[in-house]
Structure 1
């Protein structure tokens, strides 16, 4: 994939190396699931084929009546997702206020084999997505971009070409997408469609994989001797980029804030860059975070820190809450050598740092769960210290583990 990129002429983007600073806010686990999206006080995600609608104010999690569902998006009082519960995939639109559903059945594909397909986006009464046209010849596969107006019930084909790795996005009367021009489907220039005028324009000729839009700003994921996120100003035609100590994917934008997934040293975390202050911060700290989405002061993402997929939210404006340390052990006694799995069960504020002391001179840092083997007989006192931006807390259990011959 990278070899092809060197053959594509790229417009020069000045990359400034920016360091990552610490951030004070509050992280909260919302539930188990995948592919979160956020708008206002509502968060949606998929889990085991169902769609969950979470109200941040009331802390209520509503499972919508759906099956074989994925790729949810939310805007206003409407939720849209891809539903494969029938032989033919549909886009399902759910009205939160009335509880009514509406199906889009034409030009919709599920495409589980090639990572994308009908990943919808919604703004007001307009839904955009791309369908997948399969072909045994990879160069002849295509991703057609469509728009559906829920007010007029009219569907419009916008482009013959989408992108394997990305999905279209929409803000007000602008729709943007990566157009691969039918070459291989993995990336290409960014195009924009104006709903009011019907005009279609190539915005950036640089090779991109994914994009998102808010107001006059278009954020995209590019490759120039490494992956990075760039911001294009539609009003001034200026392009800016910042190189961070990670490779950047899955960008999203809200006002002056850009979020993305950064990969570095086999870890994946969520980062944010504030264009108004030129400050960059790391939002997650566990090395297993994906699919960020931002609205206002809140960022949501999918996290695998406990070896299952959970949805977390970080509130930039919330005051951090001190964690209260607690943990469990899968066994507490046995013959030497005894291997024990310790699991963090701390309550209160979500920890961002863990320190285990197993009582035998061995310590473990940064791991939310820890596996340790006790090789000598005796009783061991085990302690766990958990820390976040608010404070630290330690739990010490005397005689926690007993090892016999």
Structure 2
């Protein structure tokens, strides 16, 4: 039986938010990789075909045995990911308690992975989600005729070892999600004829319900809250559906928001305002908005409790970062590197911040020649006169500041 949500003001009602900048000293870099997920004190991600399992409490990073694995998800003591190590696509389930593996080989296909800017996307792929003993994913079938491509949605019950196809239509850009016995996904209904952009399937009753409006590019669920990434009146938006009240509201963003996730009353997403790509969070209870990352190159956030993880390309490699909303501030310890230390005038030098401790929110470079640079994590400077120059970097965040000075850092002849 279908149910339509009433959208306030014809499409949706924006939440009125107070913008807050998060304290970056609560941010920590965990390791190199992409596609992070988090549950409790465990974080998983993929890196060069392997899955990493990081224990926040013990600060240990365990590399799970695989050569072609990606898109991990975690719930409880189980990690699931898409695995192509054998040359055939599988879903691999790893039990943290027993270190045992379980492979699902039926109706599993990989997606078309591509990189756009600072973000990695998988089109039509099996990006699995897990809750309890239920795993959900979609199968991508690439027929010769592009108009006949299909994205079938499946669930697998680990307690009964049974697989069920729950939809003939998935979403080209999204993937299914699950909370308790509710499975949600967006579909390409506008192209394949099945009505409604979002469907919800009840694994206990087998009932399927249509939710929301058109043009959803993916959705996630937690409790009675369903968060959808949609196309609204010529721009992208994030819509929050309350399944208990049949009401919808919008998460306000002056630019295109992507990659939403939800835990409790907190929604996180990637936001491209001010020509930056950063992680933002909205508290649905207070309507406060918080900017979590400050690098301008962050994407794919996931949230659990007070912790938010994401992938960040602030350097040449994508790294996994974690932000703890409850952590105490930590002062940064300044340090930096240079690509050269000497040369003929005019000499252009690249200075790269390598500070440790708390993550800085402000940088001040003194190059020793009377020309200084502010607010630049990475700075390029040209020395035009011969001489020996002392260079210093001062880094600051809410917990304090620290300065590193290197005498004779640059020699120009």
SS of the residue 1:183 aligns to:
helix
Alignment match, 1:20:
19
1:337-376 pair list within 5 angstroms: 337-376=346-385
The partner residue of 1:199 within 197, 207, 220 is: 207
Aligned partners of 2:186 and 2:218 also within 8 Å:
yes
For residues 239 and 316 of structure 1, do their structure 2 counterparts lie closer, same or farther at Cα, with a shift above 3 Å needed? same
1:63 maps to 2:63: yes
Aligned partners of 2:336 and 2:352 also within 8 Å:
yes
1:214 maps to 2:213: no
Alignment match, 1:5:
none
What number of residue pairs does the alignment pair up? 394
CA distance in 2, matches of 1:252, 1:59: 25
- Deviation, 1:214, is 0.2
CA distance in 2, matches of 1:228, 1:181: 19
RMSD between aligned alpha carbons? 1.8
SS of the residue 2:102 aligns to:
strand
Q: Which has the higher contact order (CA 8 A, sep 6+)?
A: 2
- Deviation, 1:364, is 3.0
- Deviation, 1:15, is 2.4
Aligned partners of 1:95 and 1:101 also within 8 Å:
yes
Aligned partners of 1:140 and 1:182 also within 8 Å:
no
- Deviation, 1:95, is 0.3
1:163 maps to 2:171: yes
Aligned partners of 1:305 and 1:368 also within 8 Å:
no
Alignment match, 1:260:
269
Alignment match, 2:5:
none
SS of the residue 2:197 aligns to:
strand
SS of the residue 1:73 aligns to:
strand
Aligned partners of 2:80 and 2:91 also within 8 Å:
yes
Moved more, 375-384 or 360-369: 360-369
For residues 336 and 211 of structure 1, do their structure 2 counterparts lie closer, same or farther at Cα, with a shift above 3 Å needed? same
Query: TM-score by structure 1 length?
Result: 0.93
Structure 1 residue runs without a partner (length 5+): 1-9
For residues 372 and 115 of structure 1, do their structure 2 counterparts lie closer, same or farther at Cα, with a shift above 3 Å needed? farther
SS of the residue 2:91 aligns to:
strand
Aligned partners of 2:240 and 2:251 also within 8 Å:
no
Once the two structures are superposed, residues 21-41 of structure 1 have per-residue CA deviations (whole angstroms, 9 ceiling, x without a partner) of: 122361000000000000000
Alignment match, 1:332:
341
Alignment match, 1:6:
none
Once the two structures are superposed, residues 34-81 of structure 1 have per-residue CA deviations (whole angstroms, 9 ceiling, x without a partner) of: 000000000000000000000000000000011100000000000000
Moved more, 112-121 or 57-66: 112-121
Alignment match, 2:109:
109
Once the two structures are superposed, residues 326-347 of structure 1 have per-residue CA deviations (whole angstroms, 9 ceiling, x without a partner) of: 1122221111121212121211
Moved more, 340-349 or 253-262: 340-349
Alignment match, 2:308:
299
The partner residue of 1:226 within 235, 238, 244 is: 235
